[in-house]
Amino acid sequence: MSLDSHIESVLWTHDQISDRVAELAAQISTDFDSNSIPPPVVVGVATGAFLFLADLVRKIQLPVSVDFVRVESYGSGTESNGAPVISLNLKLDVKDKHVILVEDIVDTGSTVSCLIPYLELKGASSVSVCTFLDKPSRRKVQVELLGKGKFYRGFQCPDYFVVGYGMDFAELYRNLPYIGVLKPEYYK
């Protein structure tokens, strides 16, 4: 039984993803070109952002540094279990640096709205958010307005629980190279 047979529908193919990631990287390369000394720090939110971050930084035409934070809030289900908790801290010093926070998906906005003040407290001069998917229909916090930086989104996502390209259900399916929706029997 193949992995693809677990998927009910594909929302974005690998090719569509690559094209969009290239556009985001080009935009970031332009936006941070002249006004950014020292170079920006790209901070990925583990684990979900790992593939997006890897593809994005390889297309950014600027020297950047890379770090990760980890935030737990989802458990193994499809609904957030409330307040996010930072369980892995930054290694790099972001004081007086521009931070680009890289997320797989912004849903309610709780995760990003917890991380922006955390990065500001560490002295970041601005925090921009670059999320691969954006689900504005479920937003509780208007994260676009926080952080003194820009808000980049790959695609607007309909209100489905999606998997692939880094995103999991119960820690599985992150390795799918596309974004899809699971067949109902696998959401168990």
Exposure string of 97-128, with b = 16+ CB inside 10 Å and e = fewer, is: bbbbbbbbbbbbbbbbbbbbebbbebebbbbb
Residue 180 contact partner, candidates Mg ion, ligand 5GP, none, CB within 5 to 8 A by sort of partner: none
Candidate segments 46-54, 122-130, 151-159, 180-188, binder of Mg ion by CB under 5 A: 46-54
> Is 67 annotated in the active site?
no
Asked whether position 45 contacts Mg ion by CB under 5 A, the answer is yes
Judged by CB, which is closer to ligand 5GP: 110, or 126? 110
At closest approach, how far in Å is the CB of 134 from ligand 5GP? Answer: 9
Coil, helix or strand at residue 153: strand
One character per residue 100-129, x = contact with Mg ion (rule: CB under 5 A): ----x-------------------------
- Cα–Cα dist 107/39, whole Å: 29
Locate the DSSP E strands across 111-174: 126-134, 148-156
Binding residues (CB under 6 A) for ligand 5GP: these are 45, 48, 73-74, 80, 84, 103-111, 161-163, 167-169
Judged by CB, which is closer to ligand 5GP: 44, or 149? 44
At closest approach, how far in Å is the CB of 157 from ligand 5GP? Answer: 7
CA neighbor of 43 nearest in space, from 149, 138, 134? 149
Residue 109 contact partner, candidates ligand 5GP, Mg ion, none, CB within 5 to 8 A by sort of partner: ligand 5GP
Pairing of strands 148-156, 98-106: unpaired
Instruction: Report the residue count for the chain.
Output: 188
**For residue 20, how many other CB atoms are within 10 A of its CB?**
16
- The angle subtended at Cα 45 by Cα 124 and Cα 11, nearest 5°, is 130
Judged by CB, which is closer to ligand 5GP: 125, or 160? 160
| Binding test (CB under 5 A) with Mg ion, winner from 40, 44, 48, 147 | 48
Which residues are near Mg ion by CB under 5 A? 45, 48, 74, 104, 168
**Residues that are catalytic:** 107
